């Protein structure tokens, strides 16, 4: 095959030759290619293997590899090679040391756009410029394309096929005068087993059940089953559509009882299982055998989370998986170790947390989000601290005995009623990271936003994950890189998840036309603080340059408020603590209508004496939130009437909680400090622009 060089024409690798080479290695009883075989393989990729390094060359070395990962399947990786690459992985921010992408979601040109963000690419370009050479884009595009083609050819799901490509690692790769590597290694492996497809259409019956059965309800005490029953009724689910499976009672709390699953007059849409873990195994077999239930919610913990339970739990999962081969796909199972489901459209709450422990203030009636979490407590704390997140659906996955992250995301990616999906991941089942990444990309193409947080970010954290939901945490760098490439918004910590999920839900229908920010406040530190926080790890916003007409318009507002002698019109602008509610919002209107501004962050200055920020003012009765000229009355129409994002900042203590709550209840996006608001907007803007690139094929944003 013709080697790669700057003048070569694109050539696809000889896939048949690659497969034949792998078969020969397998027939020889080996899993690793010998040096001569590696040389043949690299020649197929358009490069040479030269074990003796050229010490005189200063050209930056690259490292590229294809790795079959447990979670994501085949992943392409590229970054700096040698010692520099190892140091960079430990010291540089996301996507600067190296980049990764799921093979199924990229091609040579797309991966080059991703690779351009790395230090490796930047070093290579500068070196080539200093030597009078053109940018390496053409040769890199062809190289990545050949690697991807080989990865596709080297994968198989058939257990009797030749072994698949498990890892091809090429290090100390230089492009001049023609691509050559000083080290390479290639390993083959058996294709991993894949679970049968789950009938995810039955998730419809899980979240919109026409009938719900519960097993494990006590007739004499307030156990978990009884709490769930009370929550179901308390959230509005009709009693007549409920049934309790209990042989020694005729009714509990006004809900009828039947002695067994076999006594049910018809198939249940949903069965909630709240019995001891030891009794689950026999019950699941009965559910499968009788085909009496479409969807099952397994509440009990300790199934697969302790050493003693892992083997029987794995056998249980195998039986559930085998049932999916039946006509109709068999029942689906959510859990085990599952908090339950909250479905506002389904009119039910099956969490075993008493409703009185989750007080919820008034909020907008129309919810457009879903939260999927392995940890039920994660959802509880998010909702308790941030009731305005309140999604349309909240589902706890537990240890994914059956339904996985990929299953649920695939379902909700196609739900017209949902536009924002928040996901808390502790670990993926084998191959499910691949399915999840494809579902993220599908959701992005459907115009949806997916916000993801991955726990188990350290060795002790990963160990804790295994003890909690029987998950395997996986490598964080690969997780974050491939999901960002797929189009997900990847959160760095819990607060970041809250902010991004909140912004995504609140701003989904707003236009993100670019990265130019307008910043307004009556507090000087706040205006400067907004400008100081426009830089992210791999993306920055900029302060938009105001048009002359906008400057003149703002000067007129300041003059009318007798502030013109105190304030210089610029961006960011400190409009002085003497500015009242109306001045803040009139200037925000002027900024947001400027074509050079894509979004506005406005400090609402609750402590300023001219701002109506108190529930009740003792010093100036009526000069409070009830005044029609207060921000809580003036800002909602401004936000709703503009296609661009406007974010309010109320930096003050509990005295101003009422002001924030009144605005958020009306759909205004409010943060409690300027740095957090601006940083979240920067990351959200980057994600929205990247999603638009994915949908249209435009270049990556840096």
The mean pLDDT of 190-198, rounded to a whole number, is 88
Calculate the alpha carbon distances from 236 to 7, 307, 402 in Å. Answer: 70, 40, 28
Q: Are 668 and 632 in contact (CB under 8 A)?
A: no
Find the Cα–Cα–Cα–Cα dihedral 171, 176, 179, 184, rounded to 10°. -20
Displacement of CA 208 from its chain's centroid (Å) = 24
Residue 8 DSSP one-character state: P
The mean pLDDT of 224-234, rounded to a whole number, is 93
- Of the candidate ranges 160-174, 387-401, 457-471, 478-492, the one whose mean pLDDT is the lowest: 457-471
Distance CA 578, CA 574 (A): 11
Structure confidence at residue 14 (pLDDT)? 66
Structure confidence at residue 699 (pLDDT)? 55
Distance CA 14, CA 146 (A): 9
Structure confidence at residue 399 (pLDDT)? 92
Give the DSSP per-residue string, 326-342. STT---EEEESS---EE
Tokens of 62: 């690259």
Displacement of CA 128 from its chain's centroid (Å) = 37
Q: Are 376 and 338 in contact (CB under 8 A)?
A: yes
Q: What is the pLDDT of residues 442-454, one digit of tens each?
A: 999 999 999 999 9
Structure confidence at residue 702 (pLDDT)? 44
Confidence of residue 6 (pLDDT cuts 50, 70, 90): very low
Q: What is the pLDDT of residues 248-271, one digit of tens each?
A: 999 999 999 999 999 999 999 999
The mean pLDDT of 11-16, rounded to a whole number, is 60
For 546-555, which contacts have Cβ atoms below 8 Å and span 24 or more sequence positions? Answer: 546/518, 546/570, 546/571, 546/591, 546/594, 546/596, 546/597, 547/594, 547/595, 547/596, 550/590, 550/591, 550/593, 550/594, 550/596, 553/590, 554/587, 554/590, 554/591
In percent, the amount of the chain with pLDDT more than 90 equals 76
Confidence of residue 466 (pLDDT cuts 50, 70, 90): very low
Q: Are 352 and 218 in contact (CB under 8 A)?
A: no
Distance CA 539, CA 680 (A): 12
Give the DSSP per-residue string, 423-466. EEES-PPTTHHHHHHHHHHHHHHTT-EEEEEE---SHHHHHHHH
Asked whether the predicted pLDDT for residue 364 surpasses 70, the reply is no
Structure confidence at residue 470 (pLDDT)? 47
In percent, the amount of the chain with pLDDT more than 70 equals 90
Q: Are 216 and 355 in contact (CB under 8 A)?
A: no
Confidence of residue 95 (pLDDT cuts 50, 70, 90): confident
Q: What is the pLDDT of residues 335-363, one digit of tens each?
A: 999 999 999 999 999 988 776 776 554 44
Quote the Cα angle for 606-608-614, to 5°: 45
Beta strands 449-454 and 489-490: pairing type? parallel
Asked whether the predicted pLDDT for residue 163 surpasses 90, the reply is no
Beta strands 242-245 and 98-102: pairing type? unpaired
- Residue 298's nearest CA partner among 373, 240, 222, 225 is 225
Structure confidence at residue 90 (pLDDT)? 57
Give 480 or 160, the one with higher predicted confidence.
480
Structure confidence at residue 10 (pLDDT)? 41
Q: Where are the alpha helices (DSSP H) in 254-303?
A: 277-290
Domains of the chain and CATH, by start: 15-189 (3.30.470.20), 200-507 (3.40.50.261), 516-696 (3.40.50.261)
- Of the candidate ranges 18-22, 327-331, 369-373, 444-448, the one whose mean pLDDT is the lowest: 18-22
Q: What is the pLDDT of residues 263-296, one digit of tens each?
A: 999 999 999 999 999 999 999 999 999 999 999 9
User: What is the Cβ-side half-sphere exposure of residue 546, based on CA atoms within 13 angstroms?
Assistant: 24
Q: Which residue has the tokens 């009990």?
A: 300
Calculate the alpha carbon distances from 63 to 80, 148, 185, 252 in Å. Answer: 6, 15, 12, 66
Give 698 or 155, the one with higher predicted confidence.
155
Give 486 or 359, the one with higher predicted confidence.
486
- Of the candidate ranges 118-127, 224-233, 403-412, 472-481, the one whose mean pLDDT is the lowest: 472-481
Asked whether the predicted pLDDT for residue 20 surpasses 90, the reply is no
Structure confidence at residue 472 (pLDDT)? 46
8-12, 389-393, 479-483 — most confident range:
479-483
Q: What is the pLDDT of residues 602-645, one digit of tens each?
A: 999 999 999 999 999 888 888 999 999 999 999 999 999 999 99
Asked whether the predicted pLDDT for residue 206 surpasses 60, the reply is yes
- Of the candidate ranges 82-96, 494-508, 676-690, the one whose mean pLDDT is the lowest: 82-96
Structure confidence at residue 385 (pLDDT)? 83
Structure pTM? 0.92
Give 701 or 345, the one with higher predicted confidence.
345
User: Residues 6 or more apart from 327 whose CB is under 8 A from it?
Assistant: none
Please classify residue 537 by burial: count the beta carbons closer than 10 Å to its beta carbon, then call 0-12 exposed, 13-18 middle and 19+ buried.
Answer: middle
The mean pLDDT of 150-175, rounded to a whole number, is 81
Structure confidence at residue 152 (pLDDT)? 87
The mean pLDDT of 196-218, rounded to a whole number, is 97
Distance CA 490, CA 454 (A): 8
Structure confidence at residue 506 (pLDDT)? 94
Q: Where are the alpha helices (DSSP H) in 538-642?
A: 548-560, 581-592, 631-640
Asked whether the predicted pLDDT for residue 2 surpasses 90, the reply is no
Structure confidence at residue 5 (pLDDT)? 46
Q: Are 554 and 587 in contact (CB under 8 A)?
A: yes
Quote the Cα angle for 527-686-114, to 5°: 140
Distance CA 132, CA 559 (A): 58
Please classify residue 475 by burial: count the beta carbons closer than 10 Å to its beta carbon, then call 0-12 exposed, 13-18 middle and 19+ buried.
Answer: middle
Structure confidence at residue 9 (pLDDT)? 39
Distance CA 193, CA 183 (A): 31
Calculate the alpha carbon distances from 256 to 222, 231, 237 in Å. Answer: 18, 16, 14
Q: Are 118 and 96 in contact (CB under 8 A)?
A: yes
Find the Cα–Cα–Cα–Cα dihedral 234, 239, 245, 251, rounded to 10°. 100
Residue 578 DSSP one-character state: T
Structure confidence at residue 93 (pLDDT)? 63
When the pLDDT of each residue in the chain is averaged and rounded to a whole number, the result is: 90
Tokens of 685: 């803007």
């Amino acid at each position: 095959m013709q080697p790669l060089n700057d003048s070569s024409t694109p050539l696809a690798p000889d896939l048949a030759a690659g497969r034949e080479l792998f078969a020969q290695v397998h027939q020889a009883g080996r899993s690793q290619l010998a040096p001569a075989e590696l040389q043949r393989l690299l020649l197929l990729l358009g490069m040479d293997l030269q074990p003796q390094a050229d010490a005189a060359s200063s050209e930056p070395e690259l490292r590229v590899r294809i790795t079959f990962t447990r979670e994501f399947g085949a992943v392409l990786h590229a970054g700096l090679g040698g010692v520099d690459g190892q140091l960079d992985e430990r010291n540089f921010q996301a996507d600067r040391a190296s980049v990764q992408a799921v093979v199924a979601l990229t091609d040579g040109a797309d991966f080059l756009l991703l690779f351009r963000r790395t230090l490796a690419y930047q070093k290579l370009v500068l070196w080539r410029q200093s030597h009078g050479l053109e940018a390496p884009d053409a040769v890199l595009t062809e190289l990545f394309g050949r690697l991807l083609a080989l990865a596709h050819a080297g994968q198989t799901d058939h257990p009797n096929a030749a072994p698949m490509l498990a890892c091809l690692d090429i290090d100390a790769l230089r492009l001049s005068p023609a691509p050559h590597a000083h080290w390479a290694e290639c390993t083959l492996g058996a294709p991993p087993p894949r679970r049968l497809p789950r009938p995810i259409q039955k998730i419809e019956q899980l979240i919109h059940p026409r009938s719900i059965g519960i097993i494990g309800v006590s007739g004499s005490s307030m156990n978990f089953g009884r709490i769930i029953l009370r929550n179901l009724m308390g959230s509005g689910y009709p009693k007549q559509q409920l049934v309790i499976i209990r042989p020694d009672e005729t009714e509990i709390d006004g809900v009828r009882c039947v002695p067994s699953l076999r006594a049910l007059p018809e198939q249940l849409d949903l069965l909630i299982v709240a019995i001891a873990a030891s009794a689950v195994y026999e019950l699941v077999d009965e559910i499968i055998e009788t085909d009496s239930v479409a969807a099952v919610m397994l509440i009990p913990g300790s199934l697969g989370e302790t050493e003693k339970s892992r083997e029987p739990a794995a056998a249980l999962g195998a039986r559930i998986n085998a049932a999916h081969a039946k006509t109709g796909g068999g029942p689906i199972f959510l859990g085990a170790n599952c908090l339950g489901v909250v479905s506002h459209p389904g009119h039910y709450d099956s969490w075993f947390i008493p409703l009185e422990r989750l007080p919820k203030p008034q909020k907008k009636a129309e919810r457009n989000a879903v939260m999927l979490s392995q940890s039920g407590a994660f959802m509880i704390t998010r909702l308790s601290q941030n009731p305005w997140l309140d999604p349309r659906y909240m589902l706890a996955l537990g240890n994914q005995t059956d339904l996985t992250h990929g299953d649920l995301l695939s379902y909700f990616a196609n739900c017209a009623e949902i536009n924002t999906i928040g996901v808390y991941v502790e670990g993926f089942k084998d191959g499910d990271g691949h399915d999840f990444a494809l579902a993220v990309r599908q959701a992005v193409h459907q115009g949806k936003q997916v916000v993801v947080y991955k726990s188990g970010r350290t060795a002790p954290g990963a160990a804790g994950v295994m003890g909690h939901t029987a998950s395997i945490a996986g490598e964080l760098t690969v997780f974050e890189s491939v999901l960002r490439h797929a189009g997900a918004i990847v959160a760095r910590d819990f607060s970041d998840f809250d902010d991004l999920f909140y912004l995504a839900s609140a701003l989904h229908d707003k236009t993100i036309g670019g990265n130019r920010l307008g910043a307004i406040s009556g507090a000087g530190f706040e205006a400067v603080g907004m400008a100081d926080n426009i830089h992210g790890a791999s993306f920055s916003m900029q302060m938009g340059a105001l048009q002359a007409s906008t400057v003149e318009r703002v000067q007129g507002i300041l003059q009318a408020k007798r502030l013109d002698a105190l304030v210089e019109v610029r961006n960011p602008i400190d409009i002085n603590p003497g500015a009242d509610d109306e001045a803040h919002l009139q200037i925000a209107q002027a900024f947001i209508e400027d074509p050079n501004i894509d979004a506005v962050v406005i400090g609402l200055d609750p402590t300023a004496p001219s701002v109506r920020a108190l529930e009740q003012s003792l010093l100036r009765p009526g000069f409070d939130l009830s005044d029609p000229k207060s921000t809580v009355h003036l800002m909602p129409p401004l936000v709703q009437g503009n296609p661009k994002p406007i974010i309010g900042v109320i930096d003050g203590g509990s005295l101003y909680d009422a002001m924030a709550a009144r605005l958020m209840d009306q759909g205004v996006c409010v943060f409690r400090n300027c740095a957090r608001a601006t940083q979240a907007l920067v990351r959200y803007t980057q994600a929205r622009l990247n999603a638009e690139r994915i949908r249209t094929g435009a270049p990556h944003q840096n």
